[in-house]
Amino acid sequence: MVMFLFLVVALAVVVAAVTLAVVGGGESGPLPEVAPERLRDPLPEDRPVDRADLESLRFPVAPRGYRMADVDDALGRVAAELAERDARIADLESALAGARAAAAPTVPARPDEPGQEGRR
């Protein structure tokens, strides 16, 4: 019987503590706002991603590790920007090769031209 009364009193104390915590939750109201399901994208939207952005990138921890959707979004963004940079580099390299080919002399110098006799 004593154990039963102890459990009833303990239950009443727990209920009272929870009620006070919910009702008197501080300045923010009875309960704090729930964290969003997904956080905002931590990568900059107004400029390309650089090395410092990736080094400072930290994902919020979820019950079983990281939120897969957050990691997938970040990796997708980085992959798209790398593909865009690779395409830009390929375009610039082909333009440079074309410019070098156009600047290269097309006719070799002949030995019978004036000023070429003394160079043999």
Q: Does some domain include residue 108?
A: no
Q: What are phi and psi of 73, to 5 degrees?
A: -65, -45
Q: Does some domain include residue 96?
A: yes
Q: Does some domain include residue 70?
A: yes
Tell me the pTM. 0.46
Exposure string of 15-48, with b = 16+ CB inside 10 Å and e = fewer, is eeeeeeeeeeeeeeeeeeeeeeeeeeeebeeeee
Q: Does some domain include residue 61?
A: yes
Q: 53-97 pLDDT, tens per residue?
A: 888 887 777 777 777 888 888 888 888 888 999 999 999 999 999
Q: Does some domain include residue 54?
A: yes
What's the CA gap between 49 and 45, in Å, rounded? 8
Q: Give the confidence band of 109 by pLDDT, cuts at 50, 70, 90.
A: low
- Domain span at residue 64? 45-103
What's the CA gap between 76 and 83, in Å, rounded? 10
Point out which residues pair with 66 in neighbouring strands. Answer: 61
Q: Does some domain include residue 84?
A: yes
> How many separate domains does the chain show?
1
Q: Does some domain include residue 10?
A: no
Q: 2-31 pLDDT, tens per residue?
A: 889 999 999 999 998 888 777 765 555 555
Q: Does some domain include residue 22?
A: no
Look up residue 119 and give its DSSP letter.
Answer: G
